Amino acid sequence: MPLILNIETSENICSVALSKNNEIIAIKESSEEHSHSKLITVFIDELFKNSKYKITDLDAVAVTKGPGSYTGLRIGVSTAKGLCYGLNIPLIAIGTLNALANAINKLKITENYLICPIIDARRMEVYSAIFDKNLNIIEDVSANILTEQSYQNYLNTNKVIFVGSGCEKFNAILNNKNAQFNQNIKPSATNMVELSTKKFENKEFENLAYFEPYYLKDFIAIKSKNKIF
């Protein structure tokens, strides 16, 4: 099974994990703000110092591709691409929302549900997607402005588990018995492991020369409730 370095820098947390055979060998992460550039290479070095593997043993590098923080994504992707170029190994890209959905999937909840990862953008804006419990995509990644009516077409007929940094502000305005919020799960390289291993096995690799982070900033305008004139 492949030895993969997983890198997550899409939000405030800088997280790197070494995995093999779908198991986490070592992990380093920090929630210190604006620390990605100073910590990421240090963390990677420490991973290998504390394991029996050398960096030259890597079979691939996986990185979250976005959406998320512009600066964080740039740092993560540039680090991953540099390693792949230097070691002549493939690059694997994992959607930030896919990784968050996988964190819920790993909880092995028995009842039927949908998963909606929501990443805080600013004000009432979020990036989101909808997955079923098998991580099949139901609604693709989009940028949205949260209102009391957001996701009602799903909530009217399904239990929906919301996860991610946008949970707090959505929970504050939503009143629906089918909504469940998991605010404890944070972005982490550990959420990527099963996804990156599967992509390696399927040879779903990125073009090193042309791959760029997925920046998404296209919010939908909504009509204000307040009369301006």
Average pLDDT over residues 218-227: 48
**Per-residue pLDDT reduced to its tens digit, 175-220:** 999 999 998 899 999 999 999 999 999 999 999 999 999 887 654 4
Measured distance CA(173)–CA(169) in Å, rounded: 7
Question: What is the pLDDT, as a whole number, of residue 219?
Answer: 46
pLDDT at residue 133 tops 70: yes
Flag the least confident range among 47-56, 96-105, 201-210, 220-229.
220-229
pLDDT at residue 30 tops 60: yes
**Per-residue pLDDT reduced to its tens digit, 153-173:** 999 999 999 999 999 999 999
Average pLDDT over residues 8-33: 93
Question: What is the pLDDT, as a whole number, of residue 227?
Answer: 47
Q: Which class is domain 3-96+187-201? A: alpha beta
Question: What is the pLDDT, as a whole number, of residue 218?
Answer: 55
Measured distance CA(112)–CA(114) in Å, rounded: 7
pLDDT at residue 224 tops 60: no
Please tell me if the domain spanning 3-96+187-201 has the same topology as the one spanning 97-182.
Answer: yes
Question: What is the pLDDT, as a whole number, of residue 33?
Answer: 79
Determine contact, residues 120/169, Cβ cutoff 8 Å.
yes
Average pLDDT over residues 139-156: 95
| Mean of pLDDT over the chain | 92
Measured distance CA(83)–CA(7) in Å, rounded: 11
Question: What is the pLDDT, as a whole number, of residue 183?
Answer: 87
pLDDT at residue 60 tops 90: yes
Domain segments of the chain as ranges: 3-96+187-201, 97-182
Q: Which of 218 and 125 is assigned the larger pLDDT? A: 125
At 101, phi and psi to the nearest 5?
A: -65, -35
Question: What is the pLDDT, as a whole number, of residue 34?
Answer: 76
Question: What is the pLDDT, as a whole number, of residue 222?
Answer: 47
Q: Which class is domain 97-182? A: alpha beta
pLDDT at residue 229 tops 50: no
Nearest residue to 166 (alpha-carbon basis) of 195, 189, 187: 187
